[in-house]
Structure formats: structure tokens, C-alpha cells
Amino acid sequence: MALQDKYKELIDTAQTSGVSNLQVAEQDGVLHINGTAPSGDVKDKLWDIYGKIDPNFLTGDVVMDIQVATAVSGAKLKVVTESSNLNIRKGPGTDQPIVGKAAHGEIVTLISKMNEQWWLIRTDGGAEGYAYAQYLQPV
């Protein structure tokens, strides 16, 4: 319970921000927080609060997976690589051949989610394939 006290602000915010399927459970000294945020802003807010309570996330007492509800088929996604192009691959995996690229900041369309890591996307230029979800942000 001590962890739930330490991260009370984070849990409270998740509860009051409309995070659905919210699961907060403590296991082996780690607080697991899972849920689906109604928007990317809410996800960002939760991560900011987490970073405020545990600067640079170094303590390792939280594992938080917040998905974004608006990331559904047909949604527009922004490529949020640091600066480089995002590889679009034939299949879900970095061992798969690259079939196209999306530029940093480009807006692409989500076709479907293979899993939480690999999303099938299409660029306006017509390239279609799998890209790593961490570099795609719903707009």
C-alpha cells in the first residue's frame, strides 16, 4: 500500500481523467498501472506526474502502460521519431524488410494494430506496412 500512497497523485489523476479499464496492482514491490487514456494529452499528463514523483523514472517501482483510446483504425498518427525517418516494414519485427519510410512529423493513417508494439499504417504516399508504435502518436 505504501507505493499507492507514494503515487497517490498519479492514481487519483488516472481515475479522474477518464482512463478506462484502469488496473492498479502492487506486485513484488512494483506498482503496475494499466489503462486506456481518452486522449494522448491524458497519457502525457500521467507520465509527467509519474516523472515528477520519481524523477527520471529511476526507482523502478512503477510499470505503467497507458494506451490511447483514439488510436483506432482510421485514426491519424503523427510520426514522433527524434529526427529520422520511421521505417515501414513488411511485417511486425525489426528483422522484416523495409518497404517504405515516413518522415519525421509526417501524418500517417492507422490501419490496424498487430499488437501494442507493431501497428499497420499507410502513408499519404501510399506506402503500407508495419511501424513501431512508440514512434506514432494519435493526433
Partner 1 sequence: MNLRHLTTSIMAIGLFFMIACKSKPKDSEIMNTVSTAVQSIPGVTADVKDGVVTLSGTVSTDDEKMAAENAAKSVKDVKSVTNNIMVAPPAPPPTAPVAVTADDSLRMAVADVVKDFPGVKVDVNDGVLTVTGEEKASRWKTLKMALDALHPKKVDAKGLKVK
Strand partners for 111:
none
51 forms part of the interface with partner 1 (CB under 8 A): yes
The letter for the amino acid at 125 is: G
- Of 14-22, 51-59, 102-110, 119-127, the window that binds partner 1 (rule: CB under 8 A) is 51-59
Torsional sign, CA 78, 81, 84, 89: negative
DSSP per-residue codes, 11-29: HHHHHHTT-EEEEEEEETT
Residue 110 in grid coordinates: 492507422
Q: Binding of partner 1 at residue 139 (CB under 8 A)? A: no
- The grid coordinates of residue 77 equal 498518427
List residues bridging with 32 in a β-sheet: 25, 63
- 83 binds partner 1 per the rule CB under 8 A: no
Taking the least distance from each CB to partner 1, the nearer of 52 and 124 is 52
> Which of 2, 25, 72, 98 is close enough to bind partner 1 by CB under 8 A?
25
Is residue 21 near partner 1 by the rule CB under 8 A?
Answer: no
Give the 3-state DSSP-derived string for 99-113, with helices as H, strands as E and coil as C.
EEEECCCCEEEEEEE
For partner 1, give the closer residue by CB, 26 or 106.
26
From the list 65, 98, 112, 139, which residue makes contact with partner 1 (rule: CB under 8 A)?
Answer: 65
Residues that bind partner 1 (CB under 8 A): 23, 25, 27-30, 32, 34, 47, 51, 56-65, 82, 93-94, 116-117, 132-134
